[in-house]
Amino acid sequence: MTRTTLIFTGKEQLELISEPLPSPGPGQILVQTTKSLISTGTEGIVFSRNFAPGTHWDDWVKYPFRPGYLNAGKVVAIGEGVSHWKLGDRVASRGPHSSHHLLSASTPEPGGQTEFTPTSVGIPIPDGVSDEQATWMGLGKIVQVGVRAAEHVMGDTVVVVGLGLLGQLVVQYARLLGASQVIAIDNAPLRLELAASHGATLTLNSTAADALAAVRAATGDGADVVYDVTGHPSVLATALPLARKHGKLLLLGDAGTPSLQTLTPDVVTRGVRIVGAHDMHPPQFPNPYVRWSAVQMYDLFLTYVQRNQIRVSDLITHRFPPSRAQDAWNLLTRDRQNAMGVVYDWT
């Protein structure tokens, strides 16, 4: 038996390959994918090879490269010693764009740690959450890392620059955290409409550079927290002035060319603090020293989706079978402004 896997074979080159179907070993489960979501930011940087030599991207992207980390499926085989999963259970994971993948079914003792990779753990999908919705779990956790690092308080004024997948979730988390204003900035009308429908109180069809007057008119001195969720190095310098004196700028987009990001006098003269957030900052499992681990953030995100406190279904704009992966990337490279969530349907 075989599985089908999507790989990148070079810059803007992809291929579907057939591989032997793995069998779960002790403490493992085999998951058959039903849906996987393209991480348009991360995978877009990888697909176009839009990163500088010597960066962590350059160390990470080696061909053949297996993209994807937003996966939902069902358990189809169980290894020895696994008792808390059963056949047919639905599971969300950081698994790749592949018809099948293995997950570790073990969890550490309370307070302990295990070696892990982002694809090593599965999270049960709650009743009432569809497989498509569950594919957003990894992005929901990544954004949680950012909003926790921002240390919001009720009544914060918030600016979100860049309304891709992560930016749309930032808008919703800011609303949940009690922001008094959520100002969303992008130059794609579809993205602005979606942000407004999910809690943005003001949308600006603009660049960050051209939004300064409008942001200050709405907030006074500027926002308490500004999010740069673009991943574009030129945006940092134009986003910093949008923060108030002693406010924060949260970098949630990981630029492929960070050496091109530049500071402005706002950092020193106005005391604006820059905070970086990354997927790998929290530990995978709970421990006595960190309140929120990755698995706890995954569970919380899925709970919010189950309660309809965070909505992602209406952020899905396109669906493709894996056999049309090239069509998906043609869309994302040629008409990115009119595409949001792009899902591979493996059923």
Joined together, the tokens standing for residue 10 give 């070079």
Fold match between 2-136+283-345 and 139-276? Answer: no
pLDDT of residue 255: 85
Q: Report the distance separating Cα 165 and Cα 178, nearest Å.
A: 21
Q: Locate the domains of the chain by residue range.
A: 2-136+283-345, 139-276
Phi, psi of 14 (to 5 degrees): -140, 165
pLDDT number for residue 121: 84
What is the distance between the terminal CA atoms of the chain, rounded to a whole angstrom?
A: 17
The CATH number corresponding to 139-276 among 3.40.50.1170, 3.60.150.10, 3.40.50.720, 3.40.50.300 equals 3.40.50.720
**Dihedral (Cα; 329, 334, 337, 340), 10-degree rounding:** -10
Mean of the pLDDT values across residues 328-337? 94
Taking only the tens place, the pLDDT of each residue in 292-311 is: 999 999 999 999 999 999 99
What is the CATH topology of the domain spanning 2-136+283-345?
A: Quinone Oxidoreductase; Chain A, domain 1 (3.90.180)
At 180, the amino acid letter reads: S
Q: Two tokens at 4?
A: 């089908």
Model confidence pLDDT, tens digit, residues 129-174: 999 999 999 999 999 999 999 999 999 999 999 999 999 999 999 9
User: Which of residues 285 and 228 earns the better pLDDT score?
Assistant: 228
Which pLDDT does position 115 carry in this prediction?
Answer: 41
Is residue 324 packed enough to be buried (19+ CB in 10 Å), middle (13-18) or exposed (0-12)? middle
Q: Cβ-count burial of 246 within 10 angstroms (0-12 exposed, 13-18 middle, 19+ buried)?
A: exposed
Six token digits for residue 297 = 């953030």
Query: In the chain, what percentage of residues exceed pLDDT 70?
Result: 96
Of 346, 347, 325, 342, nearest to 37 (Cα)? 342
- Encode pLDDT of 106-121 as tens digits: 654 444 444 444 447 8
Q: Is pLDDT of 226 > 70?
A: yes
The enclosing H or E element of 247 equals strand 243-251
Count of CB atoms within 10 A of residue 238's CB?
19
65-94 mean pLDDT: 96
Predicted local distance difference test score (pLDDT) of residue 107: 54
pTM: 0.94
Give the pLDDT confidence score for residue 218 in this predicted structure.
Answer: 97
Is residue 173 within 8 Å of 147, Cβ to Cβ?
yes
What letters, b where the CB count within 10 A reaches 16 and e where it falls short, cover 277-316?
bebeebbbbbeeeeeebbbbbbbebbebbeeeebbbeebb
Q: Pick from 94, 81, 66: which is nearest to 29 by CA?
A: 81
Tokens of 9: 């074979």
- Complete DSSP assignment for 141-171: HHHHHHHHHHT--TT-EEEEE--SHHHHHHH
- The single residue listed with the structure tokens 């923060």 is 243
